[in-house]
């Protein structure tokens, strides 16, 4: 491909890319979604399958996705069209970009609602509402929020406006500074939470729950559990919808993709495990239910903050940092659509951001109403929020990821992919990667799908 830069701007350094991509990966997926999903499937066995999926499917696909973005240098739709042309393949490959836009749209609509819960909790913590709260009180507080559509709408709106503002300015300017300081701060705070859980919670029970793989617990739900673990890996690594692809398109041509992916995936996994290590000891110490669902961290953490000295300040800080983590992920969810609107519809960046965010905001209203007024409207037994959550992570992202793997492994000439990855085409690393994207990742995803629907 001839162009070496993107019209939307470039990261100022390799570090800037790592920070932005880690900012995309680390978010509610690690701290909210990972613990409650692990809890729904009984802990250790789920976590083990999750880690295997990250290593064998997530890492090679992330390399492929960054590579395609960097070679295409445009929004995912246009990048895929250009790459298909370059490789003499069918223009249908741009469909991959469209499915990605759909996934981003659905994910952000509910992601923003959950980020809204997080915003609400900043003020509850700061206002001292957690002090001395017990399990029942914390649950009641959470249920009151979820039952209140006006409150949910207000916070969802605030979060979508925050996201649109940064995307309107261009991701490389606003984002870099924010991620550089806030990500390390979140990390430190999580470590402090783990230390707190180690002395105030049932630490041994929490760790055993998280790291002792008891496959008997999956029992009859084995297929569903493995699918959810795989979906969690795609969701947490931001794979399969073009977010990482577009971030790759802003990366300069010299940076080593493999090394960067190692760092990003490693950080993402570490944050998820730390979140689990902070939460489960508190869950067990307070007789809470690990499988209680999406409210898990919102019901668990307030109890801990309410007991620790300085908990109001500490709790507020924690939720502020979680809002930032969600924010840097949400930006990457919106960016592919906005880049496409700029490229193909000739909109200015601010207009494109406003339009895309408004559409997502509307769909988000359906998600937040599904928690209360519309709770009896269900599709496949799920309200909108849960439906979009399951459908994207467990179906759309893996499908997008497999398409990326197949394009990178089978359609792209080896000379192109080896060159773009900066690896020797006959070297061991390149061949390992190639086997993973050509065979291992697609086969695993297909088998997990077939198994989940009971055909295998």
Residue choice 238, 307, 312, 417 for contact with ligand PHE (CB under 6 A) = 238
- 241 lies in the binding site for ligand PHE (CB under 6 A): yes
Segment 119-148, which members bind ligand PHE (CB under 6 A)?
A: none
Complex with ligand PHE: residue 235 or 314, whichever CB lies closer: 235
Complex with ligand PHE: residue 29 or 364, whichever CB lies closer: 29
Tokens of 2: 């001839």
- 332 lies in the binding site for ligand PHE (CB under 6 A): yes
Which range in 41-49, 230-238, 313-321, 362-370 contacts ligand PHE by CB under 6 A? Answer: 230-238
Segment 91-110, which members bind ligand PHE (CB under 6 A)?
A: 107
Binding mask 312-331 for ligand PHE (x = CB under 6 A): -----------------x--
Do 77 and 67 form a contact (C-beta atoms < 8 A)?
Answer: no
Residue choice 36, 203, 235, 250 for contact with ligand PHE (CB under 6 A) = 235
Q: Count of residues binding ligand PHE (CB under 6 A)?
A: 15
Segment 2-61, which members bind ligand PHE (CB under 6 A)?
A: 24-25, 27-30
Complex with ligand PHE: residue 41 or 235, whichever CB lies closer: 235
CB of residue 376 to ligand PHE, shortest distance in Å: 29
Complex with ligand PHE: residue 24 or 163, whichever CB lies closer: 24
Complex with ligand PHE: residue 265 or 434, whichever CB lies closer: 265
- 78 lies in the binding site for ligand PHE (CB under 6 A): no
CB of residue 317 to ligand PHE, shortest distance in Å: 19
- Binding region for ligand PHE (CB under 6 A): 24-25, 27-30, 107, 235-236, 238, 241, 243, 329, 332-333
């Amino acid at each position: 491909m001839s162009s070496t830069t993107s019209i939307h701007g470039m990261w100022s350094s390799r570090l800037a890319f790592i920070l932005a991509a880690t900012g995309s990966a680390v978010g509610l997926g690690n701290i909210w979604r990972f613990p409650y999903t692990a809890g729904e499937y009984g802990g250790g066995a789920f976590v083990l399958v999750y880690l295997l999926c990250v290593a064998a499917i997530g890492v090679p696909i992330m390399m492929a996705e960054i590579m395609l973005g960097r070679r295409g240098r445009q929004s995912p739709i246009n990048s895929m069209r250009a790459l298909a042309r370059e490789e003499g393949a069918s223009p249908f490959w741009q469909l991959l970009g469209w499915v990605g836009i759909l996934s981003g749209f659905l994910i952000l609509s509910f992601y923003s609602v959950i980020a809204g819960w997080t915003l609400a909790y900043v003020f509850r913590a700061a206002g001292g509402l957690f002090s001395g709260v017990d399990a029942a009180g914390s649950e009641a507080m959470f249920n009151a929020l979820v039952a209140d559509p006006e409150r949910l709408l207000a916070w969802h709106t605030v979060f979508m406006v925050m996201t649109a503002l940064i995307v309107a300015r261009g991701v490389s300017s606003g984002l870099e500074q924010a991620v550089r300081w806030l990500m390390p701060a979140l990390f430190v705070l999580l470590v402090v939470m783990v230390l707190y859980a180690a002395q105030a919670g049932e630490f041994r029970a929490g760790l055993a729950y998280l790291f002792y793989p008891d496959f008997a617990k999956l029992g009859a739900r084995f297929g569903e559990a493995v699918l959810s673990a795989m979906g969690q890996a795609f969701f947490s690594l931001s794979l399969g919808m073009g977010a990482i692809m577009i971030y790759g398109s802003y990366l300069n041509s010299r940076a080593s993709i493999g090394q960067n992916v190692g760092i990003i995936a490693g950080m993402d996994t570490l944050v998820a495990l730390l979140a689990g290590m902070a939460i489960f000891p508190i869950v067990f110490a307070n007789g809470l239910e690990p499988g209680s669902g999406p409210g898990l961290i919102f019901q668990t953490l307030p109890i801990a903050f309410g007991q620790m000295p300085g908990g109001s300040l500490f709790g507020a800080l924690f939720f502020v940092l979680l809002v930032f983590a969600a924010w840097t992920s949400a930006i990457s969810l919106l960016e592919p659509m906005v880049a496409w609107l700029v490229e193909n519809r000739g909109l200015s960046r601010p207009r494109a951001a406003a339009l895309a965010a408004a559409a997502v905001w509307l769909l988000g209203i359906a998600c937040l109403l599904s928690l209360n007024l519309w709770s009896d409207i269900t599709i496949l037994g799920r309200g909108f929020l849960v439906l979009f959550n399951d459908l994207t992570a467990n179906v759309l992202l893996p499908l997008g990821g497999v398409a990326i793997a197949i394009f990178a492994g089978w359609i792209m000439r080896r000379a192109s992919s080896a060159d773009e990855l900066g690896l020797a085409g006959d070297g061991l690393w390149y061949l390992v990667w190639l086997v993973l994207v050509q065979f291992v990742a697609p086969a695993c995803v297909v088998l997990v799908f077939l198994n989940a629907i009971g055909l295998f």
